[in-house]
Structure 1
Amino acid sequence: MLALVREHAVAVQPPRALYVPYPFGAPLGRPLDAEHQHRVLAAALALLERNAPSLADFNDSEYIEQRGAPMQNSEVDTKPGCGPRLDANPATETTRVRQYYNQWVERRGRTTVGVTGISPSRFRAIIRFLEDYAAGKDADMRERPSHIPLGEWIRLCALDLRAMFSEAKMVMHPGVTSDEIDRWFWSETSVAALLVRVRDRMAASDDATLRGAAYGVAR
């Protein structure tokens, strides 16, 4: 088992698990780097030689160091035509980023946005919901299906926001890598800062379902 959230592996206690420090959707690490991905797989398969249960950490100090270093202002949307100036207000920021997301959809004819079923034109409603939740309010959305727990719904909202920002970034800066998108989003956007506040409230909850979903909202 490859674990993207170490806390989950500790709680579930699978027979063998390898914790990897990579973003959701990229458990093998660097895209298009076959040699590196083979090292991850080899480390995971090596756990078969250990007695169960066994939890190991995959050491990628270079990736952790790069991810932890915020991008400089000169690297982020400062040239004319490269993208919007990001805003301290998550709702305004989302509206500005959406114009680039719309260009992505027009050019590609596809998108990974849509797990909530809410149109990106209404993502400001998601932002208001998340802001209320982060502020400690009893927040919810009428769009949440009754069979989906609140924690899972928050995770889906986070996935849609991150997908829209990622696809918008690929229009702003063609050729940008997934690591660069990840670093830009988590170190430069107010939406990411909001998701971290939401995650912190979920992680501190007495509700086990909220705690379990917290690390799917923000790392």
Structure 2
Amino acid sequence: MSALGHLIEQRGIATTVIGLVRVHMEKIRGPRGLWVPFELGRPLGEPEDPAFQRRVLVAALRLLERGDGPAILEDYPEAAPGRQDAAGWTPAVTLPGVPAPGAASAVDWTHALKAELAQVLPVWEAAYAVRGRTTVGVGRLPLAAWPSLVCAFLGGPPPDPSPVPDLRAIQAVRYVVDDLKALYTEAVVKPDDRPSSRQVLDWFWDRTVAASLIRAVRKACLASPDKVVAVVGGNQLVPSARV
């Protein structure tokens, strides 16, 4: 967006940008930029906190009042409240502990993920009924198809043809993994709770079979002779902080 800012300004339209990666903003030197110290994917800082979001937007728009330049880069001073852990928070999902398979057996992993999903899905459905919205669905595949598709990348060639016509199989897996993450993290938070994002992600990455499977798939993809599988599977399934 900082690069687009240069092009738009050449047409005589003033621009301001909210950015999450400061080093990119420094290199591109957009006309006006507000760097925010929030998580990737949360440029306004906090879901369901309109007052906080408005302060971020106002800070970005106020850069339009500045007359200095040619490149303005300001740091937003507030930390997102969501980075603070909620005392006494308990996950809405109680997992009795489905054991993760010890070997990279696609069949065993498929059974383990199905067993865990059977525990998570009813909780997610109840939460969805209250919230009325979800981010699950980017993979464009029914939930019943998720386990076998993801586990197919634990060994052997990628599924052919891809289950999503306009995507390679590894791209389809990438989006199904996004759906898995969304399903679990939406399920684990009760509609009235406000845990920190770190608490939610710690629960997912440290305590679920799904997360263990995603890491195993990443490892298998990195060893693939298919360069696209290695790049997409190696870089886009597991955040670097959770590898």
Q: With structure 1 as the length reference, what TM-score do the two structures score?
A: 0.60
2:164 is equivalent to residue 145 of structure 1 = yes
Query: Separation in 2 of the partners of 1:150 and 1:2?
Result: 34
2:200 is equivalent to residue 185 of structure 1 = yes
Q: How big is the alpha-carbon RMSD for the aligned residues of Structure 1 and Structure 2?
A: 4.6
Match of 1:100 among 108, 123, 140: 123
SS in 2 for 1:18: strand
Match of 1:175 among 192, 213, 225: 192
Question: Contact 2:82/2:197 (CA < 8 Å) preserved in 1?
Answer: no
Question: Contact 1:19/1:56 (CA < 8 Å) preserved in 2?
Answer: yes
Question: Contact 1:100/1:168 (CA < 8 Å) preserved in 2?
Answer: yes
The equivalent residue for 1:58 is 76
Query: Separation in 2 of the partners of 1:23 and 1:86?
Result: 31
The equivalent residue for 1:28 is 44
Superposition deviation, residue 184 in structure 1: 3.6
Matching residue's letter, 2:76: F
Superposition deviation, residue 103 in structure 1: 3.3
The equivalent residue for 1:122 is 145
Q: How many residues align?
A: 197
List alignment gaps of at least 5 residues for structure 2.
1-16, 101-111
Query: Separation in 2 of the partners of 1:108 and 1:65?
Result: 22
Q: With structure 2 as the length reference, what TM-score do the two structures score?
A: 0.55
Query: Separation in 1 of the partners of 2:72 and 2:211?
Result: 33
Match of 1:162 among 159, 181, 188: 181
Superposition deviation, residue 175 in structure 1: 0.7
SS in 1 for 2:188: helix
Query: Separation in 1 of the partners of 2:90 and 2:212?
Result: 17
Change (3 A) 1:108 1:35: closer
Which protein shows a greater Rg? 2
The equivalent residue for 1:84 is 94
Match of 2:28 among 13, 21, 26: 13
Query: Separation in 1 of the partners of 2:70 and 2:216?
Result: 36
Query: Separation in 2 of the partners of 1:193 and 1:12?
Result: 37
State, as a whole percentage, how many aligned pairs show the same letter.
23
Query: Separation in 1 of the partners of 2:75 and 2:96?
Result: 35
Superposition deviation, residue 187 in structure 1: 0.5
Match of 1:3 among 5, 9, 19: 19
The equivalent residue for 2:55 is 39
List alignment gaps of at least 5 residues for structure 1.
none
Change (3 A) 1:168 1:59: same
**More contact order relative to length (CA 8 Å, sep ≥ 6):** 1
Q: Summarize deviations over 1:43-92 as a string: whole Å, max 9, x none.
A: 323444353555554344464752xx6x78x6334xxxx53226464724
